[in-house]
């Protein structure tokens, strides 16, 4: 007999309402958590204006919030790491270092007899400077190459600045005549300007303030530079000494034709030879500003009397003059470059350095 709620014939087969209709549907825990709507409980539905269901936050929303938080944490971590590495970076620019004072050595070379005189061109032709080139053409730049920490262009800048200083301090007519020192001064590191100015204004034989170590100049009341142009020969060398400094060594011989200042152009001339060895140092700021730090300067020049005061300028012995030296100083050839300087405060000008009779 059919139940009260069932039709007399029973539940028709194949129609909805049978127990087997939802038997295949399984509401597991994952399905429930993933539902976007959640039914309120009976107690919650008893409240006034209560609604039957409420929305649940989806997993995508929670996942998006977590990813945003993680991204913020990563950004903060990266920023903190960058600050830390910036403070601990071992390759930061080195602190600014002051230039060292120049160390100077000036050695007069005394002649062994009367100074030869004659026509300047003929004197040069019979001297060791016969094959030397005139003026700046005699200062050759070596083939530049990059070093470990300096580019080829930086090496070229260092060599060019050293050459410019040699020209400004050894070949500039106004510098040779004692009228100015500005061309050489403009090429010096600012830290050395006070020492340079004191050397010019108050020269002293103290190994620091001999003006002849900075520039080649003659007393215009005594000496005039004659034509042709001075002859020059020598070498420039470069080397990286630290990751932030580049050194250049200049070793050159300059030969000048000189006459007495108050004489006519037909008066006999004589030759005066100056061997200069200069040690330059360049840091990166020097290279950028086209200037140099001069570390050491050794000058051997003659013919001069050993007793002459050369701190304020060179004092050449002119044609026909001689030196009355009682001592026997070491023979020194200023044309022999790439060698140690004379070991004494005065040397003897080697006969081979004078023009042949």
pLDDT tens digits for 78-119?
A: 877 766 665 554 444 455 568 889 999 999 999 989 999 999
The per-residue pLDDT for 30 is 59
Asked if residue 2 is part of any domain, the answer here is: no
Do 37 and 147 belong to one domain? no
Asked if residue 98 is part of any domain, the answer here is: no
The per-residue pLDDT for 93 is 47
The per-residue pLDDT for 191 is 96
Do 79 and 108 belong to one domain? no
Do 218 and 252 belong to one domain? yes
Do 227 and 301 belong to one domain? yes
Neighbours of 288 (CB within 10 A): 11
The per-residue pLDDT for 62 is 53
φ, ψ of residue 230 to 5 degrees: the values are -55, 150
Relative to beta strand 223-225, strand 133-134 is unpaired
SS3 44: helix
The per-residue pLDDT for 69 is 80
Do 216 and 74 belong to one domain? no
- Domain total for the chain? 2
The per-residue pLDDT for 348 is 85
φ, ψ of residue 301 to 5 degrees: the values are -140, 140
What stretches in the chain show pLDDT beneath 50?
Answer: 1, 89-93
Do 190 and 286 belong to one domain? yes
The per-residue pLDDT for 275 is 97
The per-residue pLDDT for 81 is 74
Do 206 and 287 belong to one domain? yes
> Cβ distance 99 to 191 under 8 Å?
yes
Of 145, 174, 140, the C-alpha closest to 160 is 140
Asked if residue 126 is part of any domain, the answer here is: yes
Do 147 and 254 belong to one domain? yes
Asked if residue 9 is part of any domain, the answer here is: no
Alpha helices (runs of H) in the chain, residue ranges in sequence order = 29-34, 42-45, 59-88, 120-125, 152-170, 173-176, 182-185, 193-201, 211-214, 284-289
Q: Tell me the CA end-to-end span of the chain in Å, nearest whole number.
A: 158
Q: Which domain covers residue 296, as residue numbers?
A: 103-353
Q: pTM (2 decimals)?
A: 0.72
Interior/surface letters 178-197, b for 16+ CB within 10 angstroms, e for the rest: beebebbbebbbeebeebbe
* Token digits of residue 17: 């309402």
The per-residue pLDDT for 99 is 81
Do 274 and 215 belong to one domain? yes
> Cβ distance 282 to 230 under 8 Å?
no
Asked if residue 332 is part of any domain, the answer here is: yes
Asked if residue 130 is part of any domain, the answer here is: yes
The per-residue pLDDT for 36 is 54
Do 179 and 243 belong to one domain? yes
Do 199 and 111 belong to one domain? yes
Asked if residue 328 is part of any domain, the answer here is: yes
Asked if residue 93 is part of any domain, the answer here is: no
Do 208 and 282 belong to one domain? yes
């Amino acid at each position: 007999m059919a139940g009260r709620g069932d039709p007399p014939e029973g539940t028709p087969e194949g129609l909805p309402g049978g127990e087997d209709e939802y038997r295949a549907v399984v509401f597991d825990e994952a399905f429930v958590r993933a539902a976007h709507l959640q039914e309120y409980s009976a107690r919650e539905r008893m409240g006034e204006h209560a609604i039957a269901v409420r929305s649940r936050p989806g997993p995508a929303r929670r996942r998006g919030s977590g990813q945003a938080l993680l991204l913020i944490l990563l950004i903060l971590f990266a920023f903190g790491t960058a600050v830390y590495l910036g403070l601990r970076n071992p390759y930061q620019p080195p602190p600014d270092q002051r230039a060292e004072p120049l160390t100077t050595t000036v050695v007069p070379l005394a002649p062994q007899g009367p100074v030869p005189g004659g026509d300047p061109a003929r004197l040069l032709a019979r001297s060791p400077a016969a094959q030397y080139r005139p003026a700046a053409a005699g200062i050759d730049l070596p083939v530049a190459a990059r070093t470990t920490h300096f580019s080829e262009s930086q090496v070229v800048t260092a060599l060019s600045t050293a050459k410019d200083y040699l020209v400004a301090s050894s070949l500039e007519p106004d510098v040779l005549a004692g009228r100015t020192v500005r061309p050489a001064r403009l090429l010096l590191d600012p830290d050395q300007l006070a020492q340079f100015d004191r050397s010019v204004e108050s020269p002293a034989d103290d190994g620091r303030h001999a003006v002849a170590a900075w520039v080649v100049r003659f007393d215009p009341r005594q000496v005039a530079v004659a034509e042709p142009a001075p002859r020059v020969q020598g070498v420039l060398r470069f080397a990286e000494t630290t990751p932030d400094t580049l050194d250049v060594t200049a070793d050159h011989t300059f030969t000048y034709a000189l006459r007495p200042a108050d004489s006519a152009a037909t008066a006999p001339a004589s030759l005066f030879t100056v061997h200069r060895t200069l040690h330059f140092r360049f840091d990166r700021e020097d290279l950028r500003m086209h200037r140099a730090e001069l570390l050491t300067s050794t000058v051997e020049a003659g013919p001069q009397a050993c007793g002459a005061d050369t701190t304020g300028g060179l004092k050449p012995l002119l044609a026909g003059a001689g030196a009355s030296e009682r001592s026997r100083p070491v023979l020194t050839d200023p044309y022999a470059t790439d060698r140690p300087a004379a070991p004494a405060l005065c040397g003897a000008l080697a006969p081979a350095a004078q023009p042949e009779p």
